Amino acid sequence: MTTVSARLGALARRHPWVVFCCRRAVRLTVSLFVVVTASFAMIRLVPGDPVRAALGVDAPPDLVAAKRHELGLDHGLSAQYWRYLRHLTHGDLGVSLVTGEPVADLIRARLPATLLLAVLAFACVLVVALPGGLLAAVWTREGRRPRAELAFTATTSVMAGVPDFVLAAGLTAGLAVALRIFPVAGDLGPQSYVLPVLALALAPTAVLLRIVRVETLKVLATDYLRAARAKRLSAVPLYLRHVAPNTLTASLTVAGNLLPALIAGTVLVEKVFAWPGIGSAMAQSVAAQDYAVVEASVLVLGSAVLVVNFLVDLALALLDPRSVIRET
């Protein structure tokens, strides 16, 4: 046992990046397995018969039995689980109980709309929060302008506390229904993206604004920045070369964790705006008790969150290679 530990330690010292990537890959694999199992169990634990719900209460018993046999629901849970895993390895996500459409086709058609919405919202968060938090810290450093600091804190607190679906409903009522500036629902062109992106991005932007400001204030209080100021550097090189790089690492760590939350948050926002993505399909399927679509939607969204977290870990490690060495 000691020999094995010593060899692993030597491998970690010689190839820290290999060990780091392997650990993250193992963690991703285990997490994906948990998501697959949870998506399977979640639907099976819901009270009611999905086949009876899809065919109607007046459906003949022999038709219900035949449909249950076709879907493999007349077997035990363990047999259903292995059947589910076997179909997943072939890309088979089942068939919609309501429309009869292959669920994989539905997911393939709707996934780009959901990902595009989340990516656009994430881009808006970065574009506003990173420079905005930096400017807010410079403006209020060392106790200057206390009223501006109070206004910033109050505004971002309110923004961060408003739920996505409440904000989405408010934006729809104000900017789409009352003022008719933007479309009410659906994907009707570039203008259709504005309201759902705002609904998704506002709260994460407020959170990241506060974090960037706090991290920037810490950097502004360090000795090396005081030395840089003593050299009488102009504002642009001072903040871009000395402040921003030291603020970005911690800020991007939080920002990277916001992207999976944005993907998960699309479910309610898409429902409000009738957006043609996975989230609205899942919401409709829950109401219609189309469990095959719900199961696949949970699996795809959960897997997307885990993959994004994995990529964020790798990106942050590239930004701060010292963290790889510390971990290994």
Residues 309 and 172 in one domain: yes
- Compute CA distances 290 → 84, 223, 282, 304, whole Å: 16, 61, 9, 22
pLDDT the model gives residue 224 = 73
Query: Residue 240 sits in which domain range?
Result: 112-321
Q: Could you tell me if 253 and 268 are in contact, meaning their C-beta atoms sit under 8 angstroms apart?
A: no
In this structure, what are the phi and psi dihedrals at residue 102, rounded to the nearest 5 degrees?
-60, 130
Which of 55, 89, 123 marks a domain boundary? 89
CATH of the domain at 264: 1.10.3720.10
Q: How far apart are CA 328 and CA 127, in angstroms?
A: 34
Q: How far apart are CA 311 and CA 322, in angstroms?
A: 18
- Asked if residue 116 is part of any domain, the answer here is yes
Residues 222 and 317 in one domain: yes
- Asked if residue 171 is part of any domain, the answer here is yes
pLDDT the model gives residue 128 = 92
pLDDT the model gives residue 14 = 64
How many residues can be counted in the chain? 328
- Asked if residue 327 is part of any domain, the answer here is no
- Compute CA distances 176 → 15, 164, 277, whole Å: 56, 17, 20
Q: What residues of the chain score a pLDDT lower than 70?
A: 1-15, 47-49, 52-57, 228, 231, 233-237, 242, 320, 322-328
Which of 40, 57, 89 marks a domain boundary? 89
Q: How far apart are CA 200 and CA 196, in angstroms?
A: 6
Question: pTM, whole model, 2 decimals?
Answer: 0.79
- Asked if residue 68 is part of any domain, the answer here is yes
**Three-state SS for 159?**
helix
Residues 34 and 181 in one domain: no
Which helix H or strand E contains 256, and what residues bound it? helix 244-273
- Asked if residue 228 is part of any domain, the answer here is yes
Instruction: Report the number of distinct structural domains present in the chain.
Output: 2
Q: 95 has which bridge partners? A: 102
Residues 198 and 257 in one domain: yes
Residues 85 and 126 in one domain: no
Q: How far apart are CA 118 and CA 65, in angstroms?
A: 41
Q: Could you tell me if 16 and 325 are in contact, meaning their C-beta atoms sit under 8 angstroms apart?
A: yes
Q: Six-digit token pair at 41? A: 């169990």
Q: Could you tell me if 103 and 296 are in contact, meaning their C-beta atoms sit under 8 angstroms apart?
A: yes
Q: To which residue do tokens 């459409």 refer?
A: 101
Residues 67 and 151 in one domain: no
Distance of CA 98 to the CA centre of its chain: 28
pLDDT the model gives residue 219 = 79
Q: To which residue do tokens 């490690």 refer?
A: 317
- Asked if residue 285 is part of any domain, the answer here is yes
Residues 40 and 126 in one domain: no
